[in-house]
Amino acid sequence: MAIIDARLRENVHLLGELLGDTIRAQHGEVFFEKIERIRKGAKAARLGSADGARQLEETLGGLSDDELLPMTRAFNHFLNLANIAEQHHRVRRRRPDELPPFEDGVLRKLLERLKTENFDQEYVARQVAQLEIELVLTAHPTEVSRRTLIQKYDAISAQLAARDHSDLSTAELAEIELHLQRLIAEAWHTEEIRRIRPTPVEEAKWGFAVIENSLWQALPNVLRHTDKVLSSSTGLHLPLDAAPIRFASWMGGDRDGNPNVTAAVTHEVLLLARGMAAELFLRDVESLITALSMQTASDELLQHTGEAAEPYRELLKGLRERLQATRDWASAPREPGSSEPAAVLRDNRELRQPLELCYRSLHACGMGVIADGALLDTLRRATAFGLFLVRLDIRQDSARHSAALSEITEYLGLGRYDQWDEGQRLEFLQRELDSRRPLLPPHFQPSEETAEVLATCRVVAQASTESLGSYVISMARQASDVLAVQLLLKEAGLQRAMRVVPLFETLEDLNNAGPSIERLLSLPGYRQRLDGPQEVMIGYSDSAKDAGTTAAAWAQYRAQESLVEICRAHQVELLLFHGRGGTVGRGGGPAHAAILSQPPGSVAGRFRTTEQGEMIRFKFGLPDIAEQNLNLYLAAVLEATLLPPPMPEPGWRELMDQLAEEGVAAYRGVVRDHPGFVEYFRQATPEQELGRLPLGSRPSKRREGGVESLRAIPWIFAWTQTRLMLPAWLGWEQALKVALERGEGEQLKTMIRRWPFFTTRIDMLEMVLAKTDAAVARRYDERLVSPELKPLGDDLRDRLSQALAVVLGLTEQSELLEHSPETLEAFSLRNTYLDPLHLMQIELLARSRHQQNPPESPLEQALLVSVAGIAAGLRNTG
């Protein structure tokens, strides 16, 4: 019996048929019949049919070179269309007899629960208003779809929404289907893969487009919903200046390992953001000028406009002129630090004041229903986005700061900073931070690398406070890393406090995070330079790559616990910044469950996290989808604040210590210690070929070398393509197996039932294991791996089977995701289209490695399309 909703099946079938018509029109009936034979063969083969497997092999093997690209494209497009249908299904119109989506009711149910647990309602309302959730949009190279295709996908989704009415006439349905046919044809005749890598500025523009096309509408809708639910539950409203959710960005500010992000780029992106914000608010204000034609106004407003016939319009026309001036000024080329014309808006209060004045006047004159419409939405945007749209973070590797200071100290005849111990560094840094004289003479001529570090600091010093978020130090290890940045910023002329944030990434650094922050907070004068809370970033990607997810997850948890205690003892507020990715191997997973599994006390009304790559599109690309995800964030942070999870019992801690120890040993025993591992990885996966995929502006490697030199994203992306998903589970199989052999199965099951941290880890492990496929991974080995390395592949697949067995035993299921049959069926349907893509990719990899083809050749293009298709089908890249 079919489990997937009939309406979803109908939409998938319709989009598939329209794609088929498009392909027939270009390539003919014979080619389309080959697609159908491959699809049916893959479906039968999945069900165990030898005839189906033979049909699949024969049809794929019979493809000519010039058929490989259109065939790969066909399966890639179908998987993207299936994604569109699934996304639309999440936000489709509900019939009167249907329950609303979980996301729509999650806050209401939480507030009801808080009421039954006798929370003071005024306190609850105050907590909602004071929430500080900041989602940081990043441009990691995981978005494989071109922006032009994304726009067509959004238009297809809009047509599915238009079709979602029961009272449409036959003619209206036909018109919608014709529009869908055109859009699918446009997508089919558009290249999927960029010819060149995007620049950091282009990445920033992509992020701004997500705000313009989705979040600009979604955020005020979420706050309107929050206000309605809050008022219904507590009798209190969300204050006008509340901004429980904000956005920041790394696009144009993240220079860690990316030489393309320069001080000039950061300056340009700051101006672009300011220009985009002015343009978006200008559109809002133009609409308000049209709408607010009424004549009655309060004395307060009339004091600003005089006896104007249409006082609201008169007031807002002045704001319109200043927004136009701001947009035009931000769009004109100039040098950093150049003065702004008087008409340019500089402070968010200048934007809010006339809007608030209109709002108060309308309410005072009995027109509150008008005030609480589009004007209220614009006010909410003014608070959340403001004149600078997003707060831009700066990120740089600690080694670059150390190298710059070494050059400076050597020039000054003090020796080399990078050769000093921690005590010497701190003594020097504190002395210079307290000094009133400049550190550098005007005639100092730095190297190119040091000049770039200093130029970035000058851009930070000259930028508006509201335009910047935090300065994040990747690979931070000790207190001096933070003071080094503070000194460089001071030398550049920064005269205000700025959050300087250590990012602890490796297992060792996570274990040392608490002592590092303890020392930092104990330093004389540091607290005076602290801007608000002490922010600390927890790295998920690199810690998992370093130690495996078992040990990394536990180290992340313990680091947070330690930081909570240390900041509490020092009476300093703590803000934890979670560097999560979209995949399990990078700390990904459902945001709601992830937040509720954090250590008690670690959220406390504040939550900052990265939203990376293609996950931005999946979670925030469409307004309705964005609303659902923002609702989840808001409810989860409130729940984690007011109803934190229980402290783990001592026995659970001891067992988790043992699991982490076993897990890291098993993980590193393969990844670091096996002499053939790096070569096997490069042969069995498309890792080398991914470097040719123009995904993002950042290089795939930090430096030349083995696995340790790879960024976490291509490391995970490569394993995802082969369905082994190695980084997400390696280590768990051994850790759990040994624990079961020690007779600790019942305690593990208790931890799954009662400890949210462990529950979430096992749930995420089960989800990723459900996406693995040992048979597919074996096919890559059979075709691509040299004979002497094949035993390693056998060993890894054996470990995968062990992981599957222990998870099934612990969850007491006969198959993974038995509790979620709809998800299982969705995976099954996708495999029908993924299997041919995997087989074509294997063949293309073999041909590509046998003979070097130019990047524009059809075979190379087909290989890159297969990468995009598999990523789309699994909804995972890096």
Question: What gap in Å lies between CA 275 and CA 253, rounded to an integer?
Answer: 17
Q: Establish whether 401 is a catalytic residue.
A: no
Q: For residue 399, how many other CB atoms are within 10 A of its CB?
A: 14
Question: What gap in Å lies between CA 79 and CA 82, rounded to an integer?
Answer: 5
Question: Which residues, in sequence order, are CB contacts of 594 under 8 Å at separation 6+?
Answer: 580, 587, 760
Name the active-site residue from 140, 578, 619, 771.
Answer: 140
Q: Is 421 helix (H, G, I), strand (E, B) or coil?
A: coil
Question: Which residues, in sequence order, are CB contacts of 470 under 8 Å at separation 6+?
Answer: 393, 394, 498, 499, 500, 501, 535, 577
Name the residue type at position 731.
G
The token pair that represents 352 in the structure block:
């809010």
Q: Is 4 helix (H, G, I), strand (E, B) or coil?
A: coil
Q: Establish whether 545 is a catalytic residue.
A: yes
Could you give the angle at the alpha carbon of 337 between the alpha carbons of 332 and 342, nearest 5°? 65
**Does residue 607 contact residue 595 with C-beta atoms inside 8 Å?**
yes
| Backbone region of residue 333 per phi and psi (left: phi > 0; alpha: psi in -120 to 50; beta: other values) | beta
Beta-bridged to residue 503, according to DSSP, are 537
Q: Which of 71, 27, 17, 32 is nearest to 180 (CA)?
A: 17
Name the active-site residue from 545, 592, 619, 771.
Answer: 545
Question: What gap in Å lies between CA 51 and CA 59, rounded to an integer?
Answer: 12
Dihedral sign computed on CA atoms, order 454, 459, 464, 465: negative
Q: Is 314 helix (H, G, I), strand (E, B) or coil?
A: helix
- 603-628 b/e (C-beta count within 10 Å ≥ 16 → b): bbbbbbbbbbbbbbbbbbbbbbbbbb
Say how far residue 849 (Cα) sits from the centre of its chain: 33
Q: Enter the DSSP assignment of 743.
A: T
The token pair that represents 544 in the structure block:
């998992």
Q: What is the CA radius of gyration of the chain?
A: 28
For the chain, count helices (H), then strands (E): 39, 8
| 579 phi, psi to nearest 5 deg | -90, 70
Catalytic residues: 140, 545
